[in-house]
Amino acid sequence: MMWRLGIDVGTNSIGFSVLELDQTQEILKPVKILDLGVRIFTDGRNPKDLQSLAAMRRTPRGMRRNRDRAKNRNARYLGELRRYGLLPDEDRPCILQLDPYILRLKGLDEKLDLHAFGRALWHLKRRGFKSNRKTDGGDQEGGKIRDASDRTRQTLKEENCRTLGEWLGKPRLQTLIDNECHKAGERKPMPQARVRLRGKGAKAFYDFYPTREMILEEFDLLWQVQQKWHPEVLTPEAKESLRETLAFQWPLKPQPVGRCTFDPDQPRAPRALPSVQRLRILQELNHLGIIEPGKSLRSLTLEERDQVLQLLLRTKKQTFDGIRKALRLPQDARFNLESASRQHLDGDQTAARLSSKNLWDKSWRDLSATEQDRIVERLLEEQNETALVEWLQKEYSLAPDRADAISRVTLPAGHGAFCREVTARLTPHLEASVLSFDKAALAAGFHHSDFRDGEVYPDGLPYYGKILQREVAFGSGNPTDPEEKRLGKIANPTVHVALNEIRKVVNDLISIYGTPSQIVVELARDLPLSAQGRRDLEKQQRENREANQSRDKELDRLGIPRSYENRLRLRLWEELNQDNVMDRRCVFTGEQISIERLFSSEVEIEHLLPFSRTLDDSIGNKVLCMRQANRIKTNKTPHEAFGGSPEWADILNRAASLPENKFWRFSPDAMDRYNTGERDFLNRQLNDTRYIARLTKGYLEKTGADTWVNTGRLTSDLRWALGLDSVLPGHNSAASGTGKNRLDHRHHAVDALVVGLCDRSMMKKVSELAAKQETASGVRLLPGLDEPWEDFRDAVVHQLERLVVSHKPDHGVQGPLHNDTAYGILDPQAPAGEAQEVVRRVAVSDIHKASDIERIRDPELRSFFQNVAETATDKNLGDVLSAAGETLHPPVRRVRVVEKLRVIPIGNGRATPFKAYKGDGNYCYDLFEDQKGRWTGIVINRFDANQKDFDPHSGTGPDGHNLVMRIRVNDMLELEHEGSRQVMRIAQISPGKITLAGHTEAGSLKARNADKEDSFRYLTFSPSSLQKLGAVRVTVSPAGRLFRKQPGQ
């Protein structure tokens, strides 16, 4: 049997369709639906800020690692101080009570006994900040620290202090002397020497900040002075050993670098290299085209290209207006890369920074390209700032201040697409003439996109890193490591997860139906985006929603029904002239289109490039026009219809007010530009050229199937034309907010079915239908599209009714064990597992309600802040309390507050717990059958699941009861509900409650459950209720096959 697989891939979903192909004809056509399915999974990002989950784990892991390293370093430092006789072998209160700041002050001029000197050296374990050039360059916090450390050095110089210890010790010594003549209770508090961040946000600052360099200078000076009195102990060997331990810092671990696109055995070159910057600029300029009114797009001449090249090599960026002026082009000329969101071309970012006046100055441009690359490589690779400054001074005779400034410069981050060697081979071909990149690649001996090697995997795809070696970072290569670590992976977590899930679905389907003959894929536009890209897209979508809401209000005001077409008419009307609402005219006739005329039959929505010739139904291809103009234009381009008329110049003038993505469609060669290269308009619909599309296509081709990736531009129209918007219940509900029901996961399967039907034959049929019905009277262009085969819709409904959505389970015990906040325990004897009173510290500035003051544990502080709060409001309460706390001696900036929580006590080997944490999620719910045959259960939180005594395979409970089943969030249950056996997904678990939702329910279930207008409601059961409903745990394979688990599993 020959079959076609249609796949619709989103950021956290895969819809698929399995279509049987007719083998009796030369052209394979789908004739039957064999299967539909949906796979749901998480996208590897935090839904709140879209940050990678790996990054969220990496940050606290780095903090734990740094803490462990500091503890180990301090233990080693203490051991060496004791070994050299500078501290006693055991802690002595008399030594610990000495003020180390005063010892650091006296040690510069007076003799200290060895243990006092050792106490001063031990205090230097707070060794200050050391800038790491590779990580601190663009860090705002690092900038605050650098500013504070510079001020600290300046202050030491102004107050004639040799060391930081002298500066901090002087006021403490003076206070100690002054307090000798005062009784207890009348003495002044010691001046604070703690580094504190004051203020908030961009205005936050540190009063002072010690650096590693300051601490090591003080160590050297103290040692030099005290050595005169203790030469037999303070030997050079002792100094070298102690100083090395104090100064030691682990080098940065090299980050994995992607492989060169053309030479996968080589790493990609850093983007900051001048040679990489030049290649990028040349590649962009060779694709830059000029569009003058009434003329076809043309490339730059070699002379023009070189002129703009010199501009970009000398500046950080160059606006298109500046390029027009430099090339002496008319002001109404446009560039093909120019748009409302892109008003400039980036220049040589590295040269722009290094050639600035206070860095290398103009002499940077006098260096050879090889020398520039050498310098930038050193700037990127050298971790030690001091060593870098010395190298710059020695090699290039730079002044100390210039060398220091250069060492701190922030260079462009990331890597290019090619290694150094390939960059060197490509650049000469791009320089020699205005060659497009694909032709330059061929001239250099490469193919810009064809990396096929002929190897196929018909029985199932391997891990994508084995096939897409050019796209992944270098792995460990260790045969014992897991595949992801050994072979490397794509950095984008969403793409990484999606490719892995595609493999699972495809391999599962191959095990059922055999190898597919054809695969058709459609990819969501937000799939390959980074976190920032996703945030930008969400911002754009939010702005679009707000604009639509505003248009709905305008429609209400005008008494016009709310509809997609009417909102579209308003949007296109606004585009006719953004600045003057009184001068919005038909582009073709020049007739005024008033708001009253807008919704009449006189005005129609027209495709600039005919839909029948482009199948482009996007907003960028639509414009408002008068009906008579539409009848003249028919299925022609604007230039074909009106280019020979005397009014063409006026038409172009009016078209110039349209957005850039519409204006170019008035050029004589608009259709040629649309059908770029050898791709005709049918192939264009069936070939998504995005990077992620090429990636997915290359991966799926390894099954041996003929594979293509749809652009997805027609999916919505085809779904409507085939009547598939209404195959799911609730398709017109207000909650779903669209024609199809997005609150039902099965809509992914419907989309996948449409994707599977999109082949060249379907596109031709759509084109022919559109040519017969070419019209601008509405926004739906495909009425009357025949069903692919008889009883098509009934077959779709039948498949959807039997479809079981596959939710990816997560049975691992990994995850946050508890919240970050540590609580103090008030009653160590409190019963375990019950809520108890605990305390934690909070900043006074974070108290925003008067009622929160009552939770302050200290009665005196509580009374003080309650009196202060009487004159404050909730809005400024935090600031008022913070200011009041500063007036106390010593200042009170944080207070202990009491809360009642169920916590996890931490004993750390002690008899009684010394702190506690609030749990951060439950791992599973174990259901047991007691002696009377009734189901009971216990919830196991993730903390307990990670303890050594936890047995994940235990078949009995703590009382010896037999395990019925272990369930986790996203597991599936089959049970009796509303008179039939239904499959439910576990949404939440808590003691005594298992919360379920239908396996097809999508969207934010918590919000939907609270929405009175939404019919969805959670179903909550106890273990005994599940028993009465005959609940059975089931698993659903990636391809949607349901398997019932045996009791105890």
pLDDT tens per residue, range 658-708: 888 888 899 888 888 787 643 444 454 555 557 788 889 999 999 999 999
- Reference 1016, options 1000, 1027, 1033, 1037; nearest CA is 1000
| Rounded Cα gap, residues 850 and 864, in angstroms | 12
- 859 and 936 inside one domain: no
**Cross-strand bridge partners of residue 415:** 270
At 142, is the pLDDT very low, low, confident or very high (cuts 50, 70, 90)? low
- 293 and 429 inside one domain: yes
Q: Which residues have a Cβ under 8 Å from the Cβ of 506 and sit 6 or more positions away?
A: 5, 7, 460, 461, 519, 700, 703
User: 826: which 2 tokens?
Assistant: 């008030």
Strands laid side by side in the 993-998 sheet:
1019-1021, 993-998, 980-990, 972-977, 1032-1036, 1042-1044
CB–CB of 756/6 below 8 Å?
yes
- Reference 107, options 84, 128, 123; nearest CA is 123
Name the one residue in this structure whose structure tokens are 């060492």: 407
Within-domain flag for 169: yes
pLDDT tens per residue, range 709-719: 888 878 888 88
- Reference 313, options 281, 339, 342; nearest CA is 281
- 426 and 278 inside one domain: yes
Q: Count H helices, E strands: the chain? A: 42, 29
Within-domain flag for 813: no
Q: Is 846 left (phi over 0), alpha (psi -120 to 50) or beta?
A: alpha
Task: Count other C-beta atoms under 10 Å from residue 96's C-beta.
Answer: 10
- 575 and 670 inside one domain: yes
- 93 and 57 inside one domain: no
Can you give the pTM of this predicted structure?
0.77
At residue 590, the pLDDT reads: 93
Name the one residue in this structure whose structure tokens are 């045959």: 933
- Reference 388, options 404, 401, 402, 372; nearest CA is 404
- Reference 278, options 326, 335, 347; nearest CA is 347
Highest mean pLDDT among 261-265, 283-287, 489-493: 283-287
At residue 384, the pLDDT reads: 80
* Residues making up the chain, counted from first to last: 1049
- 955 and 887 inside one domain: no
The answer to whether residue 90 scores a pLDDT higher than 60 is yes
| Rounded Cα gap, residues 719 and 717, in angstroms | 5
At residue 772, the pLDDT reads: 67
- Residue by residue, what is the 3-state secondary structure of 985-1018? EEEEEECCEEEEEECCECCCHHHHHHCCCCCCCC
At residue 138, the pLDDT reads: 47
The answer to whether residue 1032 scores a pLDDT higher than 50 is yes
Q: Alpha-carbon dihedral of residues 508, 514, 520, 526, nearest 10 degrees?
A: 10
Domain that holds residue 710: 1-66+457-528+690-803
Domain's final residue, options 443, 469, 499: 443
At 740, is the pLDDT very low, low, confident or very high (cuts 50, 70, 90)? low
DSSP per position, 38-90: EEE---SB-TTT--BHHHHHHHHHHHHHHHHHHHHHHHHHHHHHHHTTSS-SS
Our CA angle for 515, 516, 517, nearest 5°, is 120
Within-domain flag for 584: yes
At 616, is the pLDDT very low, low, confident or very high (cuts 50, 70, 90)? confident
pLDDT tens per residue, range 354-370: 999 889 988 998 999 99
pLDDT tens per residue, range 803-824: 999 999 988 888 888 888 899 9
At residue 865, the pLDDT reads: 92
At 295, is the pLDDT very low, low, confident or very high (cuts 50, 70, 90)? confident
pLDDT tens per residue, range 442-480: 999 988 666 666 788 999 999 999 898 888 877 777 888
The total domain count for the chain is 6
- 89 and 27 inside one domain: no
The answer to whether residue 185 scores a pLDDT higher than 80 is no
Within-domain flag for 554: no
Cis peptide before 890 (omega within 30 of 0): yes
Higher pLDDT, 957 or 120: 120
The answer to whether residue 909 scores a pLDDT higher than 70 is no
At residue 783, the pLDDT reads: 63
Q: Which residues have a Cβ under 8 Å from the Cβ of 261 and sit 6 or more positions away?
A: 417, 418, 422, 470
Q: How far apart are the first and last CA of the chain?
A: 37
At residue 1048, the pLDDT reads: 64
- 308 and 430 inside one domain: yes
| Rounded Cα gap, residues 93 and 818, in angstroms | 36
The answer to whether residue 929 scores a pLDDT higher than 80 is yes
- 405 and 367 inside one domain: yes
**Cross-strand bridge partners of residue 607:** 622
CB–CB of 570/576 below 8 Å?
no
CB–CB of 971/1045 below 8 Å?
no
Whole-number average pLDDT of the chain: 87
CB–CB of 164/152 below 8 Å?
yes
Within-domain flag for 684: no
Domain's final residue, options 779, 803, 827: 803
385-390 average pLDDT score = 88
- Between the alpha carbon of residue 205 and those of residues 164, 194, 538, the distances in Å are 19, 14, 33
Task: Count other C-beta atoms under 10 Å from residue 919's C-beta.
Answer: 18
CB–CB of 287/436 below 8 Å?
yes
CB–CB of 222/120 below 8 Å?
yes
Task: Count other C-beta atoms under 10 Å from residue 1030's C-beta.
Answer: 11
Domain's final residue, options 621, 650, 674: 674
At residue 778, the pLDDT reads: 44
- 396 and 289 inside one domain: yes
Within-domain flag for 959: yes
181 burial via Cβ count (<10 Å: 0-12, 13-18, 19+): exposed
- Give residue 478's Cα distance to chain centre: 29
User: 886: which 2 tokens?
Assistant: 């500063």
| Rounded Cα gap, residues 218 and 226, in angstroms | 12
- 366 and 430 inside one domain: yes
Task: Count other C-beta atoms under 10 Å from residue 257's C-beta.
Answer: 17
CB–CB of 281/348 below 8 Å?
yes
- 782 and 837 inside one domain: no
**Mean pLDDT lowest among 247-256, 404-413, 418-427, 614-623:** 247-256
Within-domain flag for 538: no
Within-domain flag for 540: no
Task: Count other C-beta atoms under 10 Å from residue 964's C-beta.
Answer: 23
